[in-house]
Every structure is written in C-alpha cells, then in structure tokens.
Amino acid sequence: MVKTSVLFIGISLLATLLVCIVSTQIILAEVQSFGLSVSIPVRLHATMTDLVGLGPILFLIIASGFLIGFIIAKYAYQFIGGNRTAWFIAAGCTTFPLTMYLIQYTMGLTVIASARTPLGLFLITCCCIVSTWIYARLTLNNSNDNKTVQN
C-alpha cells in the first residue's frame, strides 16, 4: 500500500513536470509565431518559473483527477476485466481533459493557457497517458488482482 501511494505521488509529480514543460513550450511557440525570438536560456527560465508558479496547483489538479480515474480503472478491471494497463491508460487519457472541461464549465476559465487549443490539450493529455502507463506498469506486480494480465 505504501509503495503504491509513493508511486502515485511520483507519477502525479512526473505528469505535472511533463505538463508544465509541454505547456510552457507551446506558449513559447505561440510567442515565436509573432516573429519574436525565444532563446534557450529564456525557455529554461520560463519553464522553471512555470514549474514553481503553476506546478503546485497543477499537481493538485492532476493528482485529484488521477485518484478518481485510478479508482475507476481498478474497479473496472476487477468487474469488467480486460487489459489492466489499458484501463489505466484510459484513466490518464480522460481525467485531465474532463477536469479541464469541468473547471471551464463551472468557473468559466481555463487554468492552463495551452489547453485552450485542441493541439495543446492533446499534447498535455499525451503527458498524462505516458505517466499513467508508467504507473500501470510499475504497479503491475503490486496489483491485488491475480487475474491473467493481457499485455
């Protein structure tokens, strides 16, 4: 249980790191589309600033979405069956966009500017998919479900 909890926090941190990096680079690419040049040191500084400023709230958003999604994935696998890894990847694929849409619907704002475009939302979702795939693979042996795993 402790190992799974530590892995969950680690995967949420990994997803937060990946989302911050990708999000910052998407915004800087938009800045470049206006004809402005963005150097590597500026990119690194902007990324570090986003990690410090946006990271904590983004971690809470991602971790809460993953928590709900992982619980659903675990019980879906137990009761419906199928591929355990696919259930967790589906959780990662859906929780972040649904969380963004829920925040936008209830509060009328988009927390992450890069998530306003379909490409940005897709790339950020890919970060969450990679993170949840890693989580599913690392917790495969810890799984209390001794069903046959189809990978």
Residues 151 and 146: their CA atoms lie apart, in Å, by 14
At a CB cut-off of 8 Å and minimum separation 6, what does 113 contact?
23, 27
Q: Are 56 and 19 in contact (CB under 8 A)?
A: no
Residue whose C-alpha is closest to residue 15's, from 78, 92, 103: 92
Spell out the per-residue pLDDT of the chain, length 151, in tens: 788 889 999 999 999 999 999 999 999 999 998 988 889 999 999 999 999 999 999 999 999 999 999 999 999 999 998 899 999 999 988 988 898 888 889 988 888 888 888 899 999 999 999 999 999 998 887 555 445 444 4
